[in-house]
Amino acid sequence: MNTQRISLDFPADILLALNETENQLVQRIKLALAVQLYKAQKLTVGKAAQIAGLARLQFETALADYNIPVSNLTADEVMDDISKLQ
**pLDDT at 72 > cutoff 80:** no
- Please check whether residue 13 lies inside any domain of the structure: no
Residue-range definition of the domain harbouring residue 46: 18-85
Q: Is residue 9 assigned to a domain? A: no
Q: Is 43 helix (H, G, I), strand (E, B) or coil?
A: coil
Residue 27 lies in a domain: yes
Per-residue pLDDT tens over the stretch 5-50: 999 999 989 999 999 999 999 999 999 999 999 999 999 999 999 9
Tally of CA atoms within 13 A in the half-sphere of 26 that contains its CB:
8
**Does 5 fall in a domain?**
no
Examine residue 41 and state whether it is found in any structural domain, yes or no.
Answer: yes
- Structural domain count, the chain: 1
* pTM for this predicted structure: 0.80
Domain assignment present for residue 12? The answer is no
The answer to the question of residue 65 being in a domain is yes
A 10 A CB-CB count for 25 gives 15
pLDDT at position 70: 87
Secondary structure (DSSP) of 8-58: ----TTHHHHHT--HHHHHHHHHHHHHHHHHHTTSS-HHHHHHHHT--HHH
So what's the pLDDT on residue 3? Answer: 86
